[in-house]
């Protein structure tokens, strides 16, 4: 496995990184706007760092359908929080969840270390921004869907092959644009452009993705596929399913884990580390 470098941190093979979610949105599917205000978001960053997060992923736009958020409003929500997080927690890696190059440029100037493009390269200029500012980039598979849309009768001949082919091509394209190879991650983007069956297939066969050698980010925290798999559980009853999926993903070689509960994720990953050491893997 390749070494992952973000900011001045280095994660070697077998080392896991916890990425904590902090959303400055009034309509987040998980917290329903609890961290929308600047102060609430900053306090959430503090709690995540105290809980053991290596990375804080700041988002200004809800992933699913909802009110329109233009680039100026997205920047207003996230840029100041990036600056404040850098000042308050200089050792923490700061990520911004955005698909827009103009937003990426502003937050990179504000001090972000990583651009988390969950919508799979819909704005190819984002890779150029990452290259220009020397920051990392997440290359995700969203089934070629438009941002903030849900899948409708989506179909794949082999969803895992599609995920691998698409994310690796995005990653190689980013390298050609000048993004440091060691600062690029690929993400299967569970539930994005996929139904529950597709997402479960990706989760079962994640080792095929980690076998590419690119560091893999997994973002499964409290997602719909977990709720549906467990009989239709609502968002706040999906915690156990989240931890189970994280553990299976870590065992298969995933490196970075985007979560709402950093402390629980850290404990679950510690168990996986102990088991792998005992098994010699």
The SS3 call for residue 116 is strand
* pLDDT for the residue 28: 87
Residue 125 CB: number of other CB atoms within 10 A? 14
Hey, which residues does 38 pair with through a beta bridge? none
**Closest among 129, 87, 131 to 111, alpha carbons compared:** 87
Angle at 32 between CA 26 and CA 38, to 5 degrees: 45
SS3 251: helix
Distance from C-alpha of 199 to C-alpha of 201, rounded to nearest angstrom: 5
The token pair at 221 is 């925290």
pLDDT score of 281 = 63
Residue 27 in 3-state DSSP? coil
List, run by run, the mean pLDDT of 10-residue segments along the chain (281 residues): 91 95 92 92 98 98 93 98 98 98 98 97 97 98 93 92 98 98 98 96 98 97 97 97 98 98 98 87 63
Q: What are phi and psi of 212, to 5 degrees?
A: -70, -20
Q: Which CATH architecture has domain 4-279?
A: Alpha-Beta Barrel (3.20)
User: What sign has the CA pseudo-torsion 209, 225, 120, 137?
Assistant: negative
pLDDT at 38: 97
pLDDT at 280: 67
Give the number of other CB atoms < 10 A from CB of residue 45.
23
Cα–Cα distance between 2 and 181 in angstroms, integer?
Answer: 10
Which residues belong to the active site? 223, 258
């Amino acid at each position: 496995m390749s070494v992952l470098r973000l900011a001045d941190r280095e994660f070697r093979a077998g080392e896991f990184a916890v990425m904590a979610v902090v959303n400055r949105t009034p309509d987040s599917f998980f917290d329903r706007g609890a961290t929308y205000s600047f102060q609430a978001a900053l306090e959430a960053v503090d709690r995540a760092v105290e809980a053991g997060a290596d990375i804080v992923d700041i988002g200004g736009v809800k992933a699913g359908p909802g009110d329109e958020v233009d680039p100026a409003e997205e920047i207003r929500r996230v840029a100041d929080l990036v600056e404040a997080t850098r000042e308050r927690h200089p050792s923490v890696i700061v990520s911004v969840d955005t698909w827009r190059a103009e937003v990426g440029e502003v937050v990179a100037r504000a001090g972000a270390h990583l651009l988390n493009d969950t919508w799979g390269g819909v704005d190819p200029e984002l890779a150029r921004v990452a290259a220009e500012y020397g920051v990392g980039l997440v290359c995700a598979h969203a089934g070629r869907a438009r941002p903030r849309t849900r899948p409708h009768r989506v179909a794949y001949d082999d969803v895992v092959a599609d995920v691998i082919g698409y994310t690796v091509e995005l990653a190689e394209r980013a390298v050609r644009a000048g993004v440091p190879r060691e600062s690029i991650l690929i993400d299967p983007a569970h539930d994005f452009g996929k139904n529950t069956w597709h997402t479960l297939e990706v989760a079962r066969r994640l080792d095929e993705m980690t076998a590419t050698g690119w560091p893999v980010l997994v973002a499964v925290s409290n997602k719909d596929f977990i709720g549906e798999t467990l009989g239709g559980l609502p968002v706040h009853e999906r915690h156990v399913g989240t931890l189970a999926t994280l553990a299976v993903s870590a065992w298969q070689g995933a490196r970075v884990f985007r979560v709402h509960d950093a402390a629980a994720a850290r404990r679950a990953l510690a168990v996986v580390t102990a088991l792998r050491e005992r098994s010699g893997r």
